[in-house]
Amino acid sequence: KHNRKPFVGGNFKMNGSRAMLKEIIDRLNTLELKNHVEVVISPPTLYIDQAHKSVREGISIAAQNAFNCTKGAYTGEISPEQLKDVGVDWVILGHSERREIFKEADDFVASKVAHALKCDLKVIACIGEKLEEREANKTEEVVIRQLQAIAKNIDDEKKWEIVVIAYEPVWAIGTGKVATPEQAQEVHVIIRKWLAENVSEKVAQETRIIYGGSVNDANSPELAKQLDIDGFLVGGASLTEKFIKIIECFI
Ligand code: PEP
C-alpha cells in the first residue's frame, strides 16, 4: 500500500445521549493509537463540545454537516467558521442521508465542500450509488458525477490534503449488506484513476479513499487489506464496542 495514513471515522448520526457518548469515548480513550491510524468521531452537533472536551489527544471530532455561508439568517444551520471556533477539525459532507432525505444536490454539496475548505475545515466527502443505479450499471457514472462536482470546486490543489473521500454505496448503508472487498476495491480504483487523470497523480496517490456501508468487526479485516481502501466510515457499529476492533485492523 502507498503510505497513506489509514483513517477511521465514526458517524453516530442522530443517535446517543450524554451518557452514551461518555461510554463510547471512555472506550476509545483506552486505545493505543501510536500514530498508525487517524480516528475521527462525529457525534450529533449538540454533543460536539462534550466530545471535544473528553477525547484524548489523537482523536478528532467531525461535524455531520455544515452550511456554505459564514453567518446570517439560516435558521438551524451551522457554519464552518463556527465549527472551527469550537475546535472542530472535520466535517462530513454529502452523506447519502443528506442527499436523499434533505434533497442535497451535487452542486449544493460541492459548494459546502468549497466553503469548508476555504475555512481549513477538513472534509470527509461522501459519494456512492443507489441500488438501482448499480443494477443499471451506472455505478461509475454516478460516483464520478458526484466526485466531479466536488473536484471542480477545489481550485487549489493543496486543499486536497484535507479531503478524505468516502465511497459509500447507498445500498450498503445501514442495511447490513456490505460491499464485497472486490466490489469496494473496484470503485476505489475508479475514483483514484479519475483523480490521477483529472486532478494530478500526486493527489491520486495521497488522497485517502475510505469505504462506508455496514462495516463491522467481522468484515473489516478483509476490506482493510484491499490496496485502495484506506480506512472506513462506520455508522451503526461506531456506537458499539465493535468500533475498537475495526480501528484495530490498522494498528
Ligand atoms: C454511514 O452512515 O456513513 C454508514 C456507513 O452507516 P452504516 O455503517 O451503519 O452502514
pLDDT in tens, 133-173: 999 999 999 999 999 999 999 999 999 999 999 999 999 99
Please give the distance, rounded to the nearest whole angstrom, from the Cα atom of residue 218 to the centre of ligand 1.
Answer: 15
188 is catalytic: no
157 is catalytic: no
Residue 40 has pLDDT above 80, yes or no: yes
- Kindly report the protein residue whose alpha carbon is nearest to atom 4 of ligand 1: 235
- Select from 53, 112, 115, 114 the least CA-distant residue to 88: 53
Query: From the candidates 38, 95, 129, 188, which is the catalytic residue?
Result: 95
In order of their start, the domains of the chain are 7-248 (3.20.20.70)
Q: Does the Cβ of 11 fall within 6 Å of ligand 1?
A: yes
What mean pLDDT is reported for the chain?
97
Do 64 and 44 form a contact (C-beta atoms < 8 A)?
Answer: yes
Q: Does the Cβ of 38 fall within 6 Å of ligand 1?
A: no
How far out from the chain centre does Cα 120 lie? Answer: 16
215, 217, 219: which to mutate for ligand 1, most atoms within 8 A of CB? Answer: 215
Residue 12, SS3 per DSSP: coil
Do 123 and 166 form a contact (C-beta atoms < 8 A)?
Answer: no
ipTM of the modeled complex: 0.98
- Kindly report the protein residue whose alpha carbon is nearest to atom 2 of ligand 1: 235
Residue 200 Rama label (left phi>0; alpha psi -120 to 50; beta): beta
Ligand 1, closest atom to CA 173?
Answer: 10
Please give the distance, rounded to the nearest whole angstrom, from the Cα atom of residue 114 to the centre of ligand 1.
Answer: 24
Query: From the candidates 38, 97, 129, 168, which is the catalytic residue?
Result: 168
Q: Beta partners for 210?
A: 166
pLDDT tens-place string over residues 18-32: 999 999 999 999 998
> What is residue 111's predicted lDDT score, i.e. its pLDDT?
98
pTM of full prediction above 0.90:
yes
